[in-house]
Chains A and B, each alone.
Chain A
Amino acid sequence: MASRKEGSGSAGAASALQGQRQSRRCGGLGRQASADRRAVQYQMEMMRSLRHVNIDHLHVGWYQSTYYGSFVTRALLDSQFSYQHAIEESVVLIYDPIKTAQGSLSLKAYRLTPKLMEVCKEKDFSPEALKKANIAYENMFEEVPIVIKNSYLINVMLWELEKKSAVADRHELLSLASSNHLGKSLQLLMDRVDEMSQDIVKYNTYLRNVSKQQQQKHQYQQRRQQENIQRQSRGEPPLPEEDINKLFKPPQPPPRMESLLIAGQINTYCQNIKEFNAQNLGKLFMAQALQDYNN
C-alpha cells in the first residue's frame, strides 16, 4: 500500500507488517507519497527475500505513526479497508511517539468492524444507507488487545543488553510537567469540534432544503388540482400532468462518512485526554503526599 505523510509538519511513516497473526517483522515503506505500483513492487520483493531466508513472510497488516492520537482519517479507512478486504485478519498498528516519549509505549491495534466493512464494500455513504446499517462512531473500529511474546533467545539477548548497557532509568512517566501535551491535545480537539459543527450546519441546511422542497411540491400539486377543477368547470381540457420530479430536483444529500470519522476522532481524543488526566491526578496526589511528609 502507498505510505502516507501525516500530521502537521512532520511525517509519519506507514509500513507493512509481516508475520503470522503475530507481527514479527516490520519493513519501512518510507516516504513514497506516490505510486502504488512502486510500493507494491517493493513489498513483493521484500516478501520474496524474506521467504528466502526463512523468516515468516505472511502479510499481517501495516503500521502508522501518529501524533496525539489523530489517526481517524479517510485515508486510514481506505487503506485498512483494502488490507482487510484482501487479508481477513489484517490490523493497523497505531504508534504514538510523543506519548511513548512520556514514559509508556503507546501502541494500539485496530481493525474495522464487520458492519463498517459492509458499508465500505457498497461504497454508499449516504445518510439512508448509514442509518440502515446502524453504524455509530463507536462501532467503526474495534481495538485488538496487544500481547508481546518473546522467544527464549531474545530473552537471553535482552539480559545481555541489560548487563552491558547500564542506562539510568529516567522515569519520564512520573514527571509532573504535562501542560504542553495537554494543551496541544486540547487544541486538536477544538479544531475537530469546529469541523464537526460545520458539518452539522451543512446537514441541517440540507434537511431544511428537503423539507422546503416537499412543501413546494405539495403546493404545486394543489395549485394544479385547483386549476384543473376550474378548467373543468369552464369546460376546457385539463392541463397535462407534468412530471413533478423534473421540476423540483431533490438536493444532494451530504456524505455522512466525514462526520462519522470526525466523531470517531473526537471520541479518541477525549479518551486519550481522560486517560492522561487520570495519570496526572495520580501523580499530583503523590506529590502532595511527599510534601505533607516533609512538613
Chain B
Amino acid sequence: APSLGAAPAQLRLQRHHLRAVRQHRPPAPPRRPEPRGSGPAVPSPPARGRSPSKARGPRRAAPHSRRDSTASLRTTGEEGDAGTVDKHSVEVTNCFSVPHNESEDEVAVDMEFAKNMYELHKKVSPSEIILGWYATGHDITEHSVLIHEYYSREAHNPIHLTVDTSLQNSRMSIKAYVSAPMGVPGKTMGVMFTPLTVKYVYYDTERIGVDLIMKTCFSPNRVIGLSSDLQQVGSASARIQDTLTMVLQYAEDVLSGKVAADNTVGRFLMDLINQVPKISPEDFETMLNSNINDLLMVTYLANLTQSQIALNEKLLSL
C-alpha cells in the first residue's frame, strides 16, 4: 500500500500525543460560509472569462477507497479553490479524490498521486489552490487529525469537509471544520475541530442545470431526457401555476381566519398583483401584434433559407 513519504514510525509516535476532540459549539466568529457546486451527473464546464473569485467547477462524487479492517468507510480527497480567500469566507469550487489506506494504527495517503492530480488541475485552471480536504463518513476520527496536519502544510489553515454517505440519521449531512489547537500549554496538546457554517451558492446557469438534474428524483428509474421548446415553456408555467395555487390557498386561509394575517406577506402579495402591467387594451393589442408579426416574419425567413439551401443541394447534385 502506498504510504506517506515521511517515516511512518514518526507518525505513529505523534498519534499518541494528539487527540482529536469534537466540540459541538454553535458556530462562533469568525464565520466562514462556504459555497458548494452542483451535482456531477451532467458535467458543466467551468465558466471562463469571469473574475477568478467567482469561477466554479463541477464537484465529483468520491468513489469508494481501498481500506482494510476496522475503520469506517472513508474516502479522502483534496479540495481546490479558484481565486482569493476572503476574510470571512472561502469558496470551494472543485475537488478530486486521493486513494488512502486506513487501519487501526496508521493511515497512509498517496501523496505522489495527490501532487500529480494537483499539477494536472493546475494546468487547466491555474488559479486553483488547495483549500483543504474532504472525507466521506460520519465522524472525525483520529486519523483525521493526522491527515489534517499533513494538509496544513499544503494550505494555510485548511478546511476539513465531511460528507456522510453512510446516511446516518437518514440525512447526508455535509459539515465543515477548521482545526484549532487546545489544551494546557506545556502538557499534551490536542486539536479541536471547530464547525463552520456551510452555504451553497450557485450561479444562474449552474442552477438551471441543477434544476434539470433534480427532476430525476421524481422519476421511477432515475432517468430523464431533455425536453424541447414548447414543452419547457409548458413545464415552467405549470410550476408557476402550482406556486400560485399555494398562494391562493394561503389567502383563503387568512380570510377564513385559519391562519393569522402577516403584514410582510401581505405586502409581497400586493407587489405580486401589481406586477402585471396595466396597459390600455389598444396599446397592448398593437404591442402584441407587432411582436407576433416580427416572430412570424423571422420564422418565415428561416424556413425560406432552409428551403433555399435544400434547393442548392439539389442543383449541385444534378
Contacts and interface: CB of A to CB of B under 8 A. Distances in A.
Contacts of A277: 295, 298-299, 302
Nearest to B305: A270
A180 interface: no
Interface in B92-111: 97-99, 110
Interface string A101-130: 101110100000000000000000001000
Interface string A263-275: 1001101100111
Contacts of B7: none
B42 A148 contact: yes
Contacts of A63: 43, 45
A127 B237 contact: no
B278 A294 contact: yes
A267 B309 CA distance: 8
A44 to B, nearest CB: 10
A167 B211 CA distance: 11
Given A154-B40, A158-B214, A295-B281, A200 B312 contact: yes
Interface stretch (B14-22, B141-149, B151-159, B225-233): B225-233
B41 A150 contact: yes
A245 to B, nearest CB: 26
B36 to A, nearest CB: 7
A145 interface: yes
Given A52-B99, A52-B113, A277-B299, A156 B172 contact: yes
Interface stretch (A20-28, A71-79, A214-222): A20-28
B213 A148 contact: yes
Nearest to A262: B309
Given A26-B45, A30-B125, A291-B279, A155 B222 contact: yes
Interface string A125-141: 00100010010110000
A15 B45 contact: yes
Interface residues of B, number: 94
A43 B162 CA distance: 30
Interface stretch (A82-90, A224-232, A233-241, A280-288): A280-288
A13 B110 CA distance: 31
Interface in B278-297: 278-279, 281, 284, 288, 291-292, 294-296
Given A53-B97, A270-B302, A26 B230 contact: no
Nearest to B215: A148
Contact of A49 (B40, B120, B173, B213): B120
B3 to A, nearest CB: 15
Contacts of B110: 52
Given A25-B40, A95-B45, A174 B113 contact: no
Nearest to A282: B233
A124 B212 CA distance: 43
A149 B222 contact: yes
A283 B233 contact: yes
A243 interface: no
B208 to A, nearest CB: 6
Nearest to B174: A160
Contacts of A104: 208, 212, 227, 232
A15 B124 CA distance: 10
A256 B312 CA distance: 13
B108 to A, nearest CB: 14
Contacts of A278: 229-230
A167 B207 contact: yes
B281 A291 contact: yes
A10 B116 contact: no
A11 B46 CA distance: 12
Nearest to A63: B45
A35 interface: no
Interface string B198-233: 111110110111101110110001111111111011
Interface in B298-318: 298-299, 302-303, 305-306, 309-310, 312-313, 316-317
Contacts of A276: 229
A46 interface: yes
Contact of B45 (A13, A25, A137, A269): A13
Given A148-B224, A149-B216, A101 B48 contact: no
B276 interface: yes
A242 to B, nearest CB: 34
Contacts of A30: 123-125
Contact of A147 (B209, B210, B225): B225
For B124, B217, B294, which residue has the most chain A Cβ atoms within 10 angstroms? Answer: B124
A263 B173 CA distance: 52
Given A46-B120, A148-B224, A155-B216, A165 B209 contact: no
16 contacts: A26-B45, A30-B124, A95-B45, A101-B208, A105-B42, A107-B226, A145-B226, A148-B216, A149-B41, A149-B222, A154-B39, A165-B202, A167-B207, A193-B305, A263-B313, A280-B291
Given A105-B208, A147-B223, A171-B236, 4 more contacts: A105-B209, A105-B212, A171-B239, A290-B276
6 closest A-B pairs by CB: A26-B43, A165-B200, A270-B302, A30-B124, A28-B124, A150-B216
